[in-house]
Amino acid sequence: MASSNSGYCSILFAGSLCLMGLLPMDSWAASCCGGGSSSSLIMPKFSRAMVDMSVDMEDYNGFWDSQGDYRPDPKDSDLNQYRINLGYAHRFGSRWQGSVILPYVWNNNEYTGLTSNTQGLGDTTLNLWYETFDNVTCVWKVRQWADLKPAVYLGASLTVPTGISRFDNVANSFDITGRGFYRLDANLLVDKTIYPWNASLLLSYGKYLERNVNRDYGNYVEPSRRKLGDRQLATLSAGYTYFLESMDTLTFTLALSHLQEDDGRIDGRPDPSTRMEKNSLAGTVAWSTMDRDWIFKGTLSHAVPRNDWGDNFPVTNVLSFEVSHVLR
Amino acid sequence: MSFARRLLMTVALALLAGCDNMLDDLAPSGEDKRPDVVLGSVGPQVGQIAPDFTLDDTLYTPHTLSTELASARAVVLYFNMWCPICDTHANHMRQYIVPDFPDVRFFLVDYVSGSVPLSRSNQIASGYTDFTVLVPTSDSFTKRYQATMGTTVVIDANGQIVRMNEDFLDGNKLRATLEALP
């Protein structure tokens, strides 16, 4: 059994690493909507720490209006955002781990007659995760009911507004790299691997903290209290892992994600202009070395440019490359 | 020094390097910092006289502020760049505000297209042919009004005083401003 457990451990490792690509890739698109958030970060069960770097290239391809109808961007528009995300995860106990992710954002926009190239820090994310299990839960075969038990993670995230928001000293909406609000998220991640298949579900509920506002797009305005609406995210994914001859692994994962935010608030009144919804599909290929200490991933996240796939939000494609190194 | 500490210090330095803008969001202020204005002076601030202008719309019809004000209780300028938020704002204005104020002139100001043909094309593609869209051909107009995406300016007929110059947000302030007009 010991050898079997060791094998399971490796599989969990691979499975968990695949999950990283499916966790919330908050493509807060368009500088005009506040870009530059970052993803979550979870490391495998029996590791001490992990460093991670990813590069996102996001291309804008129209938007959904407030009725959910798809609209192309105006003529002569080419909107892009690039992000480098630096992440570090650390284990605090057998069941506890935390991480920090710091993005740096470049906005590169041609919008009809307007050209804009700006850069700056994005919003920083701090994560804390609790693992509800002590032993790995992935199996090769289901022999008893207990083999169906999934790995369940409970998490909390704090988004810190370290980016450049519309409330800072910015000239226009294209300068933005962050949203300007603190946010607290409660996260639930359920993951099950019955080798070689893997499935996971991530649910997240976030509340923005209300803040003072006395400036908007560089101009001082009548002070008010504002907040964005509650945020809900659900991501469902399924993956398949190949073992290569070298015992490296290659994992293919597909994910479906739904993200929405409710009405914001201005001095307590509802503000429907910040309400949004986005549905997207993502495909990930992850290659992990035999010792499972290095993982290389490529992800393409696609928002479908059709009616009713979103609401009041840009339609984007995000191409991401990620490298993770696990420290034992 | 451990790797974690080194990383933490790097992050802290990066944060400090960019803290000029960052502090406004990390510790937001509710202090009213709007500049004092001299009543009757020309400028974009609330209480000032709006700078007069003449701009073509997307059908090449010229519109002069002072002429428009002579036949209306007020003029509303909405600075538009055909983006999702702009669409939400303009659609809200069209549905819930414009019908209630028939004696107010509403204009969308397309401050990004830069030419009448391109602006007309964007206007049609975005479904706003029922609005009059003004087309500045340089950014000096937008700068004179200190405007950007979503900026909404209300200018009343009584001496061309600017009554409001800020983001449309939920439209409540625009409605309240128009209802308070003499």
CB A47 within 8 A of CB A284: no
pTM of the model: 0.85
Q: Cα dihedral angle (B92, B95, B97, B102), rounded to 10 degrees?
A: 150
DSSP state string for A19-56: HHTTS------HHHH-----------TT-SEEEEEEEE
**Structure confidence at residue A255 as a pLDDT band (50, 70, 90):** very high
- B161: β partners: B49
B95 touches chain A (CB under 8 A): no
> What is the three-class DSSP state of B132?
strand
Tell if the CB–CB gap between A163 and B25 is shorter than 8 Å.
yes
- A54: β partners: A85, A322
Q: How far is A276 from chain B (nearest CA, A)?
A: 10
Tell if the CB–CB gap between B3 and A49 is shorter than 8 Å.
yes
Please report residues of A whose CB lies closer than 8 A to that of B122: 74-75, 112
d(CA B24, CA A298): 36
> What is the three-class DSSP state of A11?
helix
In which region does residue A267 sit, left (phi positive, over 0), alpha (psi from -120 to 50) or beta (all else)? left
In which region does residue A308 sit, left (phi positive, over 0), alpha (psi from -120 to 50) or beta (all else)? left
C-alpha dist (Å) from residue B74 to A5, A14, A217, B49: 76, 65, 25, 13
Tell if the CB–CB gap between B83 and A63 is shorter than 8 Å.
yes
d(CA A167, CA B28): 9
Predicted interface score ipTM higher than 0.85: no
Closest CA to B98 of B72, B64, B126, B63: B72
Closest CA to A222 of A230, A212, A233: A212
pLDDT in tens, A35-90: 334 456 888 888 899 999 999 999 999 999 888 999 888 877 889 999 999 999 99
Tell if the CB–CB gap between A171 and B81 is shorter than 8 Å.
no
Environment class of A285 (CB within 10 Å of its CB; exposed 0-12, middle 13-18, buried 19+) = middle
In chain A, what are the domains? 3-327 (2.40.128.130)
Please report residues of A whose CB lies closer than 8 A to that of B9: none
B18 touches chain A (CB under 8 A): yes
Tell if the CB–CB gap between B166 and A216 is shorter than 8 Å.
yes
Please give the average pLDDT of every successive group of 10 residues along chain B, which has 182 residues.
61 56 84 88 91 96 95 95 89 95 97 91 92 92 90 87 87 94 88
In a mutational test of the A interface, the residue from B122, B169, B174 whose CB has the highest number of chain A CBs within 10 Å is B169
B contact residues 27-56, partner A, Cβ 8 Å cutoff: 28-35
Tokens matching residue B10 = 């790097």
- The size of the A-B interface in CB pairs under 8 A is 173
pLDDT in tens, B154-170: 999 976 678 889 999 88
Tell if the CB–CB gap between A168 and B24 is shorter than 8 Å.
yes
